[in-house]
Amino acid sequence: MAAQRYFPQAEADRIIWLNHYAAKLVKYGPLLGIGHEEIASTLADIARYVWLLHTWNPAKQQDALEATTHKNFIATGTGNEPAPLPPDTLFNDIPPAVLPGVLTRLFNQVQRIKLHPAYTEAIGLDLGIIGIADNADHPVPQFTAAVEQGPKSSRVRIDYTKYGHQGVAIETRSNGGEWGLLGHYTQKPVYDDRPLAVPGIPESRDYRMRWWDKDEANGEWSAVQTVLVGG
């Protein structure tokens, strides 16, 4: 599993991050396409995993330490009374068991959130899912393109995540023709509301983008996204 720059390395910090994410997911989840059932499942995942980190694992480590101490005491200690076994830790309010793969599911959810049209960097910062060097893991932009109904006709809505860059340069082509510049953008979403080349005839539009920093396009082109406009 690849490291996520927003996810802390130290377990104590992970507990803080997980509890924070759980609280914010309740607020932002419905806006970002996360249904109530998935939110409930994620909260259960986090509750169980945090309990393992914060309560169960430390207690078991302490039990193991006391077991070793008792074993050594019986081997070489002194005294006039038999020594009973140290008691095992008893747990109360144990969160329900969950399927393996808590972090895998969580990181996949974060990726879907970042690609949702309603996602913004402000939301990402509030959720805690933007790492300090997050842009190092994204040599090309990631974006979505979808047809929606505009004020007058169908249009293409393009959403992307900047990952610390100034913006993006977007190129487009219609029906497999030549690539041309759609524009340079620092705000999102981007709307392509150009009319159809031939009124009433649907057309296929491809989109690709590069990073745009200091008034200059840079990096490789992204994967191509294709939509059908007017269909």
Residue 208 is predicted with a pLDDT of: 97
Range of the domain at 191: 138-229
Which of these three, 60, 95, 127, is where a domain ends?
127
Which of these three, 69, 96, 127, is where a domain ends?
127
- Mean pLDDT, to the nearest integer, of 201-208? 95
User: Is 81 contained in some domain?
Assistant: yes
> Are 169 and 120 part of one and the same domain?
no
User: Is 94 contained in some domain?
Assistant: yes
SS (H, E, C) the chain: CCCCCCCCCCHHHHHHHHHHHHHHHHHHHHHHCCCHHHHHHHHHHHHHHHHHHHHHHHHHHHHHHHHHHHHHHHHHCCCCCCCCCCCCCCCCCCCCCCCCCHHHHHHHHHHHHHHCCCCCHHHHHHHCCCCCCHHHHCCCCCEEEEEEECCCCEEEEEEECCCCCCEEEEEEEECCCCCEEEEEECCCCEEECCCCCCCCCCEEEEEEEEEEECCEEECCCCCCEEEEECC
Using a CB cutoff of 8 Å and minimum separation of 24, what contacts does 22-25 make?
22/46, 22/47, 24/126, 24/127, 24/128, 25/127
Checking if the pLDDT of 151 tops 90, the result is no
User: For a pLDDT cut of 90, what percent of the chain falls above it?
Assistant: 74
Weakest-pLDDT range from 34-48, 80-94, 133-147, 161-175: 133-147
User: For a pLDDT cut of 70, what percent of the chain falls above it?
Assistant: 96
> Are 74 and 142 part of one and the same domain?
no
User: Is 3 contained in some domain?
Assistant: no
> Are 153 and 201 part of one and the same domain?
yes
> Are 20 and 95 part of one and the same domain?
yes
Q: Buried b vs exposed e over 62-90: b needs ≥16 C-beta within 10 Å?
A: eeeeeeeeeeeeeeeeeeeeeeeeeeeee
> Are 116 and 207 part of one and the same domain?
no
Residue 83 is predicted with a pLDDT of: 92
- Mean pLDDT, to the nearest integer, of 178-195? 94
The closest alpha carbon to 190, from 141, 124, 136, belongs to 141
Residue 12: band (very low, low, confident or very high) from pLDDT cuts 50, 70, 90 = confident
Residue 66: what are its φ and ψ, rounded to 5°?
-65, -35
Strand 225-229 vs strand 216-218: parallel, antiparallel, or unpaired?
A: unpaired
> Are 120 and 187 part of one and the same domain?
no
> Are 103 and 143 part of one and the same domain?
no
> Are 172 and 113 part of one and the same domain?
no
> Are 84 and 18 part of one and the same domain?
yes
User: Is 75 contained in some domain?
Assistant: yes
pTM over 0.85: no
Domain count of the chain?
Answer: 2
User: Is 59 contained in some domain?
Assistant: yes
User: Is 195 contained in some domain?
Assistant: yes
Which of these three, 77, 102, 127, is where a domain ends?
127
In the numeric block, the tokens 């510049």 are attached to: 181
- Mean pLDDT, to the nearest integer, of 40-47? 98
> Are 155 and 81 part of one and the same domain?
no
> Are 82 and 163 part of one and the same domain?
no
> Are 154 and 88 part of one and the same domain?
no
User: Is 2 contained in some domain?
Assistant: no
User: Is 5 contained in some domain?
Assistant: no
CATH code for position 144: 2.60.40.10
